[in-house]
């Protein structure tokens, strides 16, 4: 069995004529928690969408378990996606369904399990994220952190091989953040899954990720284990890790000179 479950090979992608990613390569090893970090708008979430086959690369490819994602037909893509669970930034819970029904949704869609088995599985998944007691609630009645945990329970409802997290810590209080951190690691190890986290939260990610990629200027600026990156002398990595406001990533957006704008 290949050690890399997901491979991104010489991939270039752009929404218009301008490329967001230029010839990038990444490998995500089985059973590991990998993180993709970088500033806002550098295309981190786009990588997840390319892995999930929601976007097609301009050149290069993404392979999942040896299969090129963008070359798959309807059925092939369906089979790849059935192995994946994804946690969206704001949870993306179905607002017309209760917490219970949200978690049961993938089971009802993809299996013929009897109702009593579905009930046990849903409660099991909700228990794993600590929200078994909230199964009757509607998404609108949940806090941001709770909604994120329900979405996580839904993402793991079919025991996926790959779990992708899009900004799992954004907008969470420190307690919820610690809970989610813990869950990502423990679920990854309990399910034997491969996790990919897209985030810009340094402290949390460095505390539990196995491998980290830094994206900048359309390419991979740095990569390595948290230990290697902490020791890195690369100016971009140093600026990012130590939250320095100016450096290789400038504080000011590109603009004409200040004097000319103020007509001085």
> Given the rule CB under 8 A, which residues bind other proteins?
49, 52, 54, 77-79, 81-82, 84, 86, 88-90, 92-95, 105-106, 109-110, 151
Output the smallest distance, CB 220 to other proteins, in A.
24
| Distance between CA atoms of residues 107 and 112, nearest Å | 8
Cβ atoms of 80 and 67 within 8 Å: the answer is yes
Instruction: Find all residues with CB under 8 Å of 189, minimum gap 6, and list them.
Output: none
- Considering the complex, state which of residue 33 and residue 80 has its C-beta at the smaller distance from other proteins: 80
- Considering the complex, state which of residue 52 and residue 60 has its C-beta at the smaller distance from other proteins: 52
- Considering the complex, state which of residue 154 and residue 216 has its C-beta at the smaller distance from other proteins: 154
Output the smallest distance, CB 145 to other proteins, in A.
17
Q: At what angle do helices 144-155 and 174-191 cross, to 10 degrees?
A: 10
| Distance between CA atoms of residues 183 and 125, nearest Å | 12
- Considering the complex, state which of residue 96 and residue 246 has its C-beta at the smaller distance from other proteins: 96
Output the smallest distance, CB 243 to other proteins, in A.
28
Per DSSP, the three-state class of 51 is helix
Bridge-based pairing state of the strands 194-199 and 33-38: parallel
- Considering the complex, state which of residue 126 and residue 151 has its C-beta at the smaller distance from other proteins: 151
Neighbours of 4 (CB within 10 A): 18
The tokens describing 50, both together, are 């390319």
| Distance between CA atoms of residues 50 and 62, nearest Å | 7
Output the smallest distance, CB 109 to other proteins, in A.
5
Output the smallest distance, CB 106 to other proteins, in A.
5
């Amino acid at each position: 069995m290949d050690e890399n479950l997901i491979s991104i090979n010489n991939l270039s992608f752009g929404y218009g004529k301008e490329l967001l990613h230029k010839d990038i390569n990444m490998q995500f090893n089985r059973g590991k928690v990998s993180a993709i970090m970088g500033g806002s708008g550098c295309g981190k979430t786009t990588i997840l969408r390319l892995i999930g086959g929601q976007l097609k690369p301009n050149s290069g490819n993404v392979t999942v378990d040896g299969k090129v994602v963008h070359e798959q037909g309807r059925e092939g893509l369906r089979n790849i996606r059935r192995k994946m669970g994804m946690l969206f930034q704001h949870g993306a819970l179905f607002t017309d369904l209760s917490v219970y029904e949200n978690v049961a949704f993938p089971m009802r869609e993809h299996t013929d399990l009897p109702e009593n088995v579905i009930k046990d599985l849903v409660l099991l998944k909700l228990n794993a994220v600590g929200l078994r007691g909230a199964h009757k609630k509607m998404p609108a009645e949940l806090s941001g952190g709770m909604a994120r945990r329900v979405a996580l329970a839904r993402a793991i409802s079919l025991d996926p091989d790959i779990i992708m997290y899009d900004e799992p810590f954004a907008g969470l209080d420190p307690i919820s953040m610690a809970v989610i951190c813990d869950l990502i690691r423990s679920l990854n190890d309990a399910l034997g899954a491969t996790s990919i986290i897209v985030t810009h939260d340094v402290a949390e990610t460095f505390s539990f990720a196995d491998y980290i990629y830094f994206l900048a200027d359309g390419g991979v600026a740095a990569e390595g284990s948290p230990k290697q990156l902490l020791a890195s002398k690369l100016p971009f990595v140093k600026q990012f890790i130590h939250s320095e406001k100016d450096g290789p990533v400038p504080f000011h957006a590109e603009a004409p000179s200040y004097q000319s704008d103020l007509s001085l």
